[in-house]
């Protein structure tokens, strides 16, 4: 009798292990094409975004786990990021300060993608299952979108040098983000000869964005001691919308100008696209280019 009971307990344990990760449900939601074939998948809800590459989750059976997003690495939110880990970012005060800002941006971007929502947790068959801190190494998929990939695409994360099925795809996206100076890659040149150009997006206008397009804007700041000429410079979003500042436009010394999405009459510090809202509330990248096409600043959120 005792032997039969022991055998039954063992069989139940094996069945649970085969059907889930850390006690998750045995019938996970379909992740679509966002994960490699053969991945182990399970349903969960993100209960806390720790930083740009780590979350805490609750499986559908009520158990908890910590997930380290597979294949990516974001700057540390508590500082101390090694600049050498992010190719081209200088180990200077400006470079380190830029990485700290990028860390906050990455955390907010991940929060917008997965915070508090049901996700599919997918473990790559080619990758290690857990890291040395016993965190599950996985992709997080929401509505068919791989959050790991999206963070790399938007420049919030670098590719972590490790073995996983989607590494070629991730490296291609990283190269594109580097070329465009998106997100953390804007830190490659955190201070410009003009004394420092900043870019900030106000994406979520008060009320309905469509009814308040001028509540959505982009702020270009100049921390230098001389005015900054931005005539014929352009601001673009990820979808390719483009605005060109008029000839003679200038950002005051230690000041800023604002580009509104709606209509209005341009002044020395207020400009208007006149085409309505374009900035996605759930994340986008603004890129400021000089007249010759050089990327001067970029801001991802």
pLDDT number for residue 29: 54
CA distances to 35, 125, 138, 163, 247 from 171, in Å: 16, 19, 17, 12, 38
Q: Which residues of the chain have pLDDT under 50?
A: 1-28, 191-195
- Residues with Cβ within 8 Å of residue 96, at least 6 apart in sequence: 79, 81, 83
* Residue 50 CB burial class (10 angstroms; 0-12, 13-18, ≥19): middle
Prediction pTM value:
0.61
CA angle 141, 177, 218 (to 5 degrees): 95
pLDDT number for residue 145: 92
pLDDT number for residue 16: 39
pLDDT in tens, 231-279: 999 999 988 899 999 999 999 988 899 999 999 999 999 999 998 899 9
Handedness of CA 273, 175, 82, 150 (dihedral sign): positive
* Residue 133 CB burial class (10 angstroms; 0-12, 13-18, ≥19): exposed
pLDDT number for residue 7: 38
């Amino acid at each position: 009798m005792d032997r039969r009971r022991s055998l039954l307990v063992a069989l139940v344990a094996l069945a649970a292990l085969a059907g889930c990760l850390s006690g998750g449900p045995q019938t996970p939601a379909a992740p679509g094409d966002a994960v490699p074939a053969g991945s182990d998948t399970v349903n969960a809800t993100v209960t806390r975004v720790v930083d740009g590459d780590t979350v805490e989750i609750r499986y559908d059976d009520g158990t908890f786990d910590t997930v380290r997003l597979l294949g990516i690495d974001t700057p540390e939110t508590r500082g101390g990021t090694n600049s050498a880990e992010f190719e081209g970012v200088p180990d200077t005060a400006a470079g380190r300060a830029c990485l700290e800002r990028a860390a906050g941006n990455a955390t907010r971007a991940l929060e917008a993608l997965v915070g508090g929502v049901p996700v599919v947790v997918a473990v790559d068959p080619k990758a290690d299952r857990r890291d040395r801190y016993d965190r599950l190494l996985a992709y997080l998929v929401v509505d068919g979108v791989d959050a790991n990939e999206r963070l790399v695409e938007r420049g919030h994360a670098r590719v972590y040098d490790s073995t996983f099925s989607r590494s070629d795809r991730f490296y291609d996206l990283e190269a594109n983000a580097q070329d465009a100076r998106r997100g953390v890659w804007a830190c490659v040149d955190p201070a410009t000869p003009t004394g420092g150009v900043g870019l900030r997006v106000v994406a979520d206008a008060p009320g309905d964005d469509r009814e308040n397009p001028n509540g959505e804007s982009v702020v270009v700041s100049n921390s230098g001691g001389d005015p900054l000429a931005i005539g014929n410079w352009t601001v673009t979003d990820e979808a390719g919308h483009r605005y060109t500042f008029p000839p003679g436009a200038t950002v005051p010394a230690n000041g800023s100008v604002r580009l509104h999405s709606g209509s209005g009459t341009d002044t020395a510090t207020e400009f208007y696209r006149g085409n309505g809202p374009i900035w996605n509330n759930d994340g986008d990248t603004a890129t400021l280019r000089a007249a010759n096409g050089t990327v001067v600043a970029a801001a991802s959120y």
